[in-house]
Homo-oligomer: A and B are copies of this chain.
Amino acid sequence: MSAPEASGAGGGLGASASAGAGDPEAEALLRSVRFGSDGLVTAVAVDSVDGSVLMLAHMDRESLGLTLKTGVMTYWSRSRKRLWVKGETSGHTQRVVSASIDCDGDALLFRVVQEGAACHEGFRSCFFRLRRGGTWEIQGRPLAKPD
């Protein structure tokens, strides 16, 4: 796993003044978030229209701060090891409608307005393979070309 910053309240790179992007509300909200030992928290994005789960990804302190401040879903890409404004190249952005935190503070749920496809493979949702017996069967068709 990527390890962009140390874990724990007040620790790591992400605890700098820019973590909450200088936004007092974002800073306050971040205090309740329990980042893992890899400095990341899990974020689930659901469609604000029908509540369906679109994708699951991760945020570090900085990307979560930016998401809370800007209202534009911004993740930490574990594969590319950098901030990732969802849709920055594809145009398939996610605008935040609401944000919730779970009981343990280590997972976040965002209702979003999804432009086009959430999945880099062009499907509306990343969860497009459904169990059928012993296989994962593709459901539906891509809305867009893969990124």
Contacts of A135 in B (CB 8 A): 28-29
Contacts of A99 in B (CB 8 A): 130-131
Q: Are B51 and A52 in contact (CB under 8 A)?
A: yes
- Take A53-B46, A56-B107 as given contacts and tell me if A136 and B24 are in contact as well, using a CB distance cutoff of 8 Å: no
Assembled-state Cα–Cα distance A29/B128 (Å):
15
Q: Are B1 and A36 in contact (CB under 8 A)?
A: yes
Q: Are B44 and A56 in contact (CB under 8 A)?
A: yes
* Segment of A8-16, A87-95, A119-127 engaged in the interface with chain B: A119-127
Q: Are B51 and A50 in contact (CB under 8 A)?
A: yes
Assembled-state Cα–Cα distance A96/B37 (Å):
30
Assembled-state Cα–Cα distance A130/B110 (Å):
10
Most buried by B among A1, A128, A136: A136
Q: Are B107 and A119 in contact (CB under 8 A)?
A: no
Contacts of A123 in B (CB 8 A): 103
Which of B101, B120, B136 contacts A127, CB < 8 Å? B101
Q: Which 6 A-B pairs have the closest CB atoms?
A: A25-B134, A28-B134, A100-B127, A102-B126, A99-B131, A56-B107
> 29 pairs across A/B with beta carbons < 8 Å?
A1-B36, A24-B134, A25-B133, A27-B134, A28-B134, A29-B131, A29-B134, A32-B129, A32-B136, A42-B42, A42-B56, A44-B53, A44-B56, A46-B53, A53-B53, A56-B107, A68-B131, A99-B131, A100-B128, A100-B130, A100-B131, A101-B127, A101-B131, A101-B136, A102-B126, A102-B127, A103-B123, A103-B129, A107-B127
